[in-house]
């Protein structure tokens, strides 16, 4: 018993520091995990804030001003018209957007017009931009998908975040490889069969998500208005219509009949 009573305090003295050490290590681990989570949470919050600041920043006020100034310089007069290539070049150069493209409505659906512009910010992207262009040239949006559908829905400018607005998985893949982040669409209206309707959409792929902005939308719509074909130009067409050709033929026939009747009148009645 003497030996037993002597051993118990000794064992107790050894166990107490061991338990205390375990508790200390456990507390340290919990603090470490908590601190690690806090660091990760703060890092995620900072990254989200940076992404929001970089990709969803309001459009600079200078963009609308630059578009209007370039439009005035290029168009010259309120009735002057722009080609699709000129229209998208004005916008890309004024905003720094890397790519401009135009969709047009055809009997078989919405297809690329062939108009394409790569701005200065895309000058070093080379083959990657060409791949996006070639894919766009063969893409058929049917009755309207992506940015075209969005524009047709409201018949106004649309600013879409992300790349779903491109309307094609392959186009989205090329744009993602280029680190593009948003799509902007602008309606171009024309009079067809006596009805005013959207017949083309100016499409811009951007390197950042653009928040809707009234001044910028107004400037873009001004460009679209100058892109539509004026009625006066259509009236001045030199190609004869079927009605005009028919009227001309009828008039010629009447002249021939009159000459024929004149020849048949006797000389004694002609006087």
Region of poorest pLDDT, from 89-93, 96-100, 122-126, 172-176: 122-126
Which pLDDT value is given to residue 33?
A: 43
Using one digit for the tens of pLDDT, what is the confidence trace for 237-253? 444 444 444 444 544 44
DSSP E strands in the chain: the ranges are 99-106, 109-118, 158-161, 182-192, 195-206
The β-bridge relationship of strands 182-192 and 195-206 is antiparallel
Using one digit for the tens of pLDDT, what is the confidence trace for 63-95? 999 999 999 888 777 677 899 999 999 999 999
Which pLDDT value is given to residue 228?
A: 72
Residue 1 has pLDDT above 50, yes or no: no
The pLDDT of 6-27, averaged and rounded, is: 46
The pLDDT of 161-183, averaged and rounded, is: 95
- DSSP state, residue 190: E
The pLDDT of 171-200, averaged and rounded, is: 93
Using one digit for the tens of pLDDT, what is the confidence trace for 128-168? 899 999 999 999 999 999 999 999 999 999 999 999 999 99
| pLDDT band, very low/low/confident/very high, at 126 (cuts 50, 70, 90) | confident
Among 163, 107, 162, 108, smallest CA distance to 135 is for 163
Region of poorest pLDDT, from 18-22, 175-179, 205-209: 18-22
Residue 169 has pLDDT above 80, yes or no: yes
- DSSP state, residue 96: -
> Where exactly are the structural domains of the chain?
1-55, 61-231
Tokens linked to 211: 């928040």
**∠ CA 193-198-201 to the nearest 5 degrees?**
140
The pLDDT of 31-47, averaged and rounded, is: 38
Question: What CATH number is given for 61-231 in this structure?
Answer: 3.30.450.40
Residue 211 has pLDDT above 60, yes or no: yes
Among 72, 67, 71, 80, smallest CA distance to 228 is for 80
The rounded mean pLDDT for the chain is 74
- pTM for the model: 0.64
The pLDDT of 27-56, averaged and rounded, is: 39
């Amino acid at each position: 018993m003497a030996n037993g009573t002597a051993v118990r305090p000794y064992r107790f003295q050894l166990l107490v520091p061991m338990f205390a050490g375990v508790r200390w290590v456990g507390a340290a681990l919990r603090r470490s995990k908590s601190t690690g989570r806090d660091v990760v949470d703060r890092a995620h919050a900072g990254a989200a804030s940076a992404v929001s600041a970089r990709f969803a920043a309001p459009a600079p006020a200078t963009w609308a001003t630059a578009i209007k100034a370039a439009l005035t310089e290029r168009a010259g007069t309120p009735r002057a018209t722009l080609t699709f290539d000129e229209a998208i070049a004005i916008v890309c150069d004024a905003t720094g957007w890397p790519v401009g493209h135009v969709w047009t409505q055809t009997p078989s659906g919405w297809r690329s017009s062939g108009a394409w512009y790569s701005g200065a910010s895309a000058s070093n992207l080379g083959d990657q931009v060409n791949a996006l262009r070639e894919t766009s040239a063969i893409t058929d949006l049917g009755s309207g998908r992506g940015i075209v559908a969005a524009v047709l829905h409201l018949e106004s400018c649309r600013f879409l975040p992300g790349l779903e607005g491109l309307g094609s998985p392959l186009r989205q893949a090329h744009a993602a490889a280029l680190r593009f982040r948003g799509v902007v669409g602008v309606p171009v209206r024309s009079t067809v069969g006596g009805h005013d309707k959207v017949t083309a959409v100016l499409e811009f792929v951007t390197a950042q998500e653009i928040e809707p902005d009234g001044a910028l939308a107004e400037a873009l719509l001004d460009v679209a208005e100058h892109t539509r074909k004026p009625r006066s130009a259509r009236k001045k067409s030199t190609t004869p219509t079927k009605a005009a050709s028919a009227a001309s033929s009828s008039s010629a026939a009447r002249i021939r009949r009159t000459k024929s009747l004149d020849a048949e009148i006797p000389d004694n009645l002609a006087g």
